[in-house]
Structure 1
């Protein structure tokens, strides 16, 4: 079947249909999906009918899938390590009351890119809705176009940031969201260096790669660098570059972290179940790669700041 594409904004975001994502796709069908992703950055697929196994298998079409951290003797709510739990649920499927889990999830409300805090970046994220809050109470996901936003920057700003390197930390975004994590503690933990401007491989367009995980800019005064980071995030997230997705169970959204930002919308976390499950594809890896011989997230979560230590409570998400 041919892929049907309906743009949401002229150059960003598209509602897609016409392919059955529950079955194996042909190479031509996979190319139809990646072509749409290269052009629009975000694709929305309604009522997919996918289960966990189909979700994981479909995601393998795009490269190696990162896995949730290992914890000896710990139970997992979800059946595959390739599924990251982006829900507000505990192991029993009830709304969690664990304060560290609640604190950790606040960071998802900030504009961010998945896994920017790892040396090996994520390309696609594929988020599938299983349970969603009732219509009208929030819980949408917002997306921002980092390519068009870069295009529209003044030339003076482009020249300033062309060769700049961002320093990224997971715990910095959690601190920005309100977690009580001293900056000295963040400095003792792993950080990742990434250019804040890069050329997006699939489209050949330049894009910003900067968001809530970006703590500092290498070589710049801290205050000056952090002001520049906030200014760039504010620029990318203007209304003209953004749209939101309202979810129903069975919906999937795929976004390319290398040319977008995203954030979760507000809702009453304590009143409504929201069961969302995500796979994440490592940049530059081959389809159906099963093992890269490394496990960066287990190392990252081995020592977690106390305010967001969810290791003993539930699967760690991002």
Structure 2
């Protein structure tokens, strides 16, 4: 059945329908989805009817799925390591009261790209809503391709060969966590160009995030001012839209062509159960193994203020 695509903005975002995502897809079905993603960067799928197993299996159509950290002796809420827990719930499914978990999640409300803090980047993120608050809790998306194209030429020239230094703990610090620069600098960081060519569309795009702490070769003050300027440019009204969720909705976004952030809601009053798979850039459909485990390595040395001890992760 042909995919039905309804654009949200003239150059960015589309609501899609016409495919049953709970069933195995043909190669042509998968191509329709990836073509839509290459064109629009973000696709919204309403009332999918998907469960956890179907969510994981559908996601495998696009490459290797990253896995949450292993934690010895930790009980997990979700049934698959491929599902990252983006909720405000504890392992028993109740609203968490854990201070570190609450502090950690504040970073998700800054403009970012998933896994920019890893050397191996994430291409698609696929987020499925299981339970949502009656108000708030939307997700915002920003078009980093159009934002790059609209930059003045002198800015394009300035950033053409610049490299960003990314770390998860910088975004947590920016969200209010009491983490020193020294703590951040002694932990792993990842370097990525501020500008790259998006493979699926051939368009140049910004690759920036709340995780981007510094610009290689620039004084810290200048580099951080440049990052701030680029994020503010890319999140102007003409480049952004929000998705208001209902249970069963899925949104797929391309981290190599967009930024996103979570919207505010009453964290202590309403449950928000969201589960995400993330596809590693450059991997093959249905690839099951890579032999590495970057998230376990990353979270082996977590600053105390945001050390959530595996409570925010799903696993098996």
Q: Which runs of 4+ in 1 moved over 2 A?
A: none
| 1:183 alignment partner, one of 181, 184, 207 | 181
Residue matched to 1:211: 209
**Structure 1, unaligned stretches of length 5 or more?**
none
TM-score after normalising by structure 1: 0.98
**Structure 2, unaligned stretches of length 5 or more?**
none
For the aligned residue pairs, the C-alpha RMSD in angstroms reads 0.9
Instruction: Decide whether the 8 Å contact of 2:42 with 2:254 is kept in 1.
Output: yes
- Within 5 A, what are the aligned runs for 1:98-177? 98-134=98-134, 137-177=135-175
Structure 1 counterpart SS, 2:13: strand
Residue matched to 2:198: 200
**CA shift for structure 1 position 314:** 3.6
Instruction: Decide whether the 8 Å contact of 2:79 with 2:314 is kept in 1.
Output: no
Counterpart-to-counterpart distance in 1, 2:285 and 2:313: 26
Instruction: Decide whether the 8 Å contact of 1:111 with 1:261 is kept in 2.
Output: yes
**CA shift for structure 1 position 313:** 3.4
Residue matched to 1:3: 3
Q: How many residues matched?
A: 315
Per-residue CA distance 1:71-119 (angstroms, 9 max, x = gap): 0121110000000000000011000000000000000000000000000
Residue matched to 2:58: 58
Counterpart-to-counterpart distance in 1, 2:113 and 2:311: 24
TM-score after normalising by structure 2: 0.99
- Within 5 A, what are the aligned runs for 1:1-318? 1-134=1-134, 137-311=135-309, 313-315=311-313
Per-residue CA distance 1:115-172 (angstroms, 9 max, x = gap): 00000000000000000001xx210000000000000000000000000000000000
Structure 1 counterpart SS, 2:100: helix
Counterpart-to-counterpart distance in 2, 1:280 and 1:90: 21
Instruction: Decide whether the 8 Å contact of 2:163 with 2:194 is kept in 1.
Output: yes
